[in-house]
Structure 1
């Protein structure tokens, strides 16, 4: 069965070779040979991909999700739907008067986040209980 037309026989050969390489890698990840009928009837093996050292170096240089969120200039209200401007860079944010860690694009977002739990978190940060 042909899925799509190829521009040249060389392109078809290259694609076929790529599929063969992928199939061989999947067999290695599975740790067993698969017969022509599609397997031995047992549970599917857990695949363990081979990780490229260059990708691991790049991944280790990435900030954690929490650190990345601290670097972003976004409204602290998770329900904020403010789409003004071209991006968050131009958004004017006002810091929380209590803790200074959260910042809001408008009074509505401040009120909503305050009522949703920032009040207690802010008080804990300031050492005032909750």
Structure 2
């Protein structure tokens, strides 16, 4: 059995977004991070294989971009992770919610009416936020 690369699980509904039109998003990730991506749609797994000249940091950043796309970031925002000033931080709101209704309320507060709270947080902090 040969090494396919480092596996990254992806939301099956986001595989198309990861690949992009005519494979453009996948190609951008491969070129930017010096990796080869193999997408297994059946298992919703992406294998990240380092190419020549790739460092462990390239592989780690490529995996983070894939994870960001998987949780709902658009590819343009996810690719900001190529800049070392950006990092991916995932917060599981269910860890602080007591029940399902509590979780709904917390998500609604973060998003705000018409997305205004989320937009304000993004503008003031420079962060990109996805609530899913």
TM class, shorter-length:
under 0.3
Please say which structure displays the higher CA radius of gyration: 1
Q: TM-score, normalised by structure 1?
A: 0.22
Greater share of strand residues, 1 or 2? 2
- Answer 1 or 2: which has greater helix percent: 2
